[in-house]
Every structure is written in C-alpha cells, then in structure tokens.
Amino acid sequence: MNTSNKYGLRDGPPVRASDALVNEAHPELGIASKLLGIFPSSLANYLIALTAIFSINFILPRLMPGDPLQAIYGQEALVVMSDEVEAQIIRQFSLDKSWWDQMLAYVLGLLQGDLGFSYYYREQVFHVILGALPWTLLLTGLALVLATAIGLVLGIESGYARGSNLDRSLVAGLMFLGGFPDFFIGILLLLIFAVSLQVLPISGAASPYAGHEGLAHIVDVLKHLALPLSSMILVRLGGIFLLTRNTIVTLLGESFILTARAKGCQERRIKYAHAGRNGLLPVATATGLRIPQLFTGALFIEIVFSYPGVGSLLNTAIDARDYPLIQGILLIVTLTVLTANFLVDLLYSRLDPRVRYAH
C-alpha cells in the first residue's frame, strides 16, 4: 500500500480479505534488503524461515523423552542397528558431547549435503530424495503453469462478461470444485477413470518393465501423469479464477479502460492487453503465496495415485517411522518452496514497475 500511495497512484487491486495481506508491503525495509538492493525485501523472511526449519529439525528429536539416538533414528531402526553403526552415529552427531557441539556437527553435516542415513532404504537420505524430487517437480510445475494459464483466461473472460450465463456458471462451478479437498478430487478421478472406466493407469509414473523407448515412453509418462495432474489443476483453478475475475471486475471501472474504449481498441486487446495485464499482478502474488499449498497438495495427490514423488516417499517414511528421511524431505521441500517464492518475488518486480522503483 505504501508503494502506491508514495507515488500518488491508486491502490493495487486486492480483492478478497485473504489477499489484503498481499497488498501491504513491508513498511520497514530490512537491513538485508537495503544491502542487497536488487533483491526483494522478503529475502530476510526466507532466511528466518529456513533457520526456523533447521532449528525444528535439530531441537525436536533432542526434546523427545529418552535417548536422542532413539529419537533421531526411531526405535525400529535401533533394533536392526549393530553396535558399531550405533557408535559411528553417536560420533558423527557428537551425541555424547554438549548441545553446542551437537549443533556444530549438525550444521557442518548439512553444509556438506549430509541429511543423514535412511535406514528403510539403506541409502543416504539425500540420494533417496533426489530420486523422487524430479517427479514431484514435474507434477507441481505443470500444475502451476496450466492452472494459472487456464484460470487467467477463464477469469478474464468471466470478469469481462460479468453477470452473463457463462460468468455465473463458471463462478458457481469452480467455487464448488475448489471446496473439495485435493485428495478427494484425486480419489474421485481415480475411481472414475482408472477403476470404473479403466482408461487410464491406476498408479505409478511409468509402466514398469515395459521397456518403452522415445515417444512411446513419453506417451506412457503423460498417461500416468494425466490423472494426478488434472486433479491438481481442478483444485487450484478455482482460486486463480476467482481472483482474476474479481480483479477484472474492479478494473473495468477504471479510466484507462474507458480511454482504451474511446480510442477504439479492439475488444480482445482491451480484455487481454489492458485489463488482463493489470490482472496479472494480484495473480502473481497469490500464486507465490500459494506455492506451499501447491506442494502439500502434490504430496496428497501423489499418495492417492502412488506417484513415485516426494509425497509417496513421505508416506513410506511416516509408515516406517524413518525419521531422518522425514526430516530430509521437510528440509528439501522447504528449500524448494522458499526458492520458488523468491523467484515469484523477482518476477513480481518485473511485472509491476512500481515495486521495482520503490526500493
């Protein structure tokens, strides 16, 4: 709010109460952002958030009653662990030393990319997650792009034709759809298309041992992707659509739209180049804010479809009580989310010159 008022411009268009927080930039610029200049002031927040995650990961197992070794690795792991391995872990985490030394060992381990050892997969946690992450990124990346694109177009069309039958049915339909929890939409699609109609594969990301090559492999992967991807898009569409539509509705009363009309712009140009361009701003912010939800949604969807991404990994880790793996997943997902948020912030300053000049 301060940025727009400072330059005598109208307020940005936050439309719902939940988006009001978008509009209100930081009144106090952090020291970090002043130093870094080109970076969004949110960088400091991300660093604080990251530190918080590190601390939770470090403190939580050590707060649990009993042996920290048991808390870090879980009871089941200790049974299968030999004394030798146990001694090695104690040495590695400095568990026999003070908290200060333990923290030092923990931070040093993290800096070397050491997230611990998954006793369930009998492999380094880092490698286990690295194997699953591409599938999750594929799913979330495509869902983000497609849901935003479809939501924007539908929102612009609907907002422009406010009150028409198209608008009414879109608002009602998408709002209803957005009310469903992600995993139930996934389950419904699974039951309809994979269980009843049997037109699409029920689980996995590619047919095992099929030995598809080239194009056949891509088609196979896309077939497996279709249901998880559509469920993620369906759930996400409503929010983006409503936000765009409401922004467009408020923008249509602005004088620059009147000017565009008066100078005889084509209908489509007014819709997309004038109203749509401005409608992008709140959508970009909201997209950034919803990236955590995007990832958690993907976790649930992956479990429903046994899609071999990070979500299924997390499910296995919880069932097996493989704590180092759970912690590693948390860390990697947080890092991914924070990075994505940061990129959206950078994108936002490209989309809205006012934000850039304000710094």
Partner 1 sequence: MHIDALGELYQDPLARAGAIMLVIIAGLAIFAPLISGYSPHDYTGKIFSPPDIDHPLGTDSVGQDIWARLLFGARTSLLVALSVALISSSLSVIVGASAALAGGLYESFCMRIIDAMISLPTIIVMILVASYLRPSLPLLILLISLFSWPGGARIIRSQVLSLKQRMHINAARTFGAGKGHIIFTHIIPDLSPIICALMMQDARRAVFMEAGLAFLGISDPTVISWGKMMNQALAFTYLDVWQWWLVPIGLALSATLIGISFLSFSLETAMDPRLRREESMGAARLT
Q: Interaction with partner 1 in 16-35: which residues (CB under 8 A)?
A: 16-18, 20-21, 24, 26, 28
Q: In the chain, which ranges are continuous DSSP H helix?
A: 2-6, 20-23, 31-36, 43-63, 68-73, 75-80, 83-92, 99-111, 125-160, 165-178, 182-189, 214-251, 255-262, 267-269, 277-289, 291-304, 310-320, 323-351, 353-358
Q: Is 43 in the site for partner 1 (CB under 8 A)?
A: no
Residue type, 147: A
As measured in angstroms, the least distance from the Cβ of 49 to partner 1 is: 4
The 236-275 site mask, x for binding partner 1 (CB under 8 A), equals ----------x--xx-------------------------
* Region near partner 1 per CB under 8 A, out of 147-155, 163-171, 214-222, 277-285: 163-171
Contacts to partner 1 from residues 167-196, by CB under 8 A: 167-169, 171-172, 175-176, 178-181, 183-184, 187-188, 190-191, 195
The SS3 call for residue 207 is coil
Query: What are the b/e assignments for 277-288, b being 16+ CB within 10 Å?
Result: ebbbbbbbbbbb
Q: Does 163 bind partner 1 (CB under 8 A)?
A: yes
Q: How far is the CB of 207 from partner 1 (least distance, A)?
A: 18
Q: Which helix (H) or strand (E) holds 124?
A: strand 123-124
Q: Please report, as residue ranges, which positions from 298 to 337 form the binding site for partner 1 (by CB under 8 A).
A: 299-300, 303-304, 314-315, 318-319, 321, 323, 326-327, 329-330, 333-334, 337
Cβ closest to partner 1, residue 276 vs residue 288: 288
Does residue 295 belong to the site contacting partner 1 (CB under 8 A)? Answer: yes
Give the tokens for residue 275: 């109203």
Q: In terms of CB distance, is 148 or 327 closer to partner 1? A: 327
Cβ atoms of residues 33 and 40 within 8 Å: yes
Query: Smallest gap, in angstroms, from Cβ of residue 37 to partner 1?
Result: 19
Using the minimum distance from each CB to partner 1, give the nearer residue, 265 or 315.
315
15, 20, 24, 25: CA torsion to nearest 10: -90
Based on the shown chain and the rule CB under 8 A, indicate whether residue 346 belongs to the binding site for partner 1.
no
Amino acid sitting at position 358: A
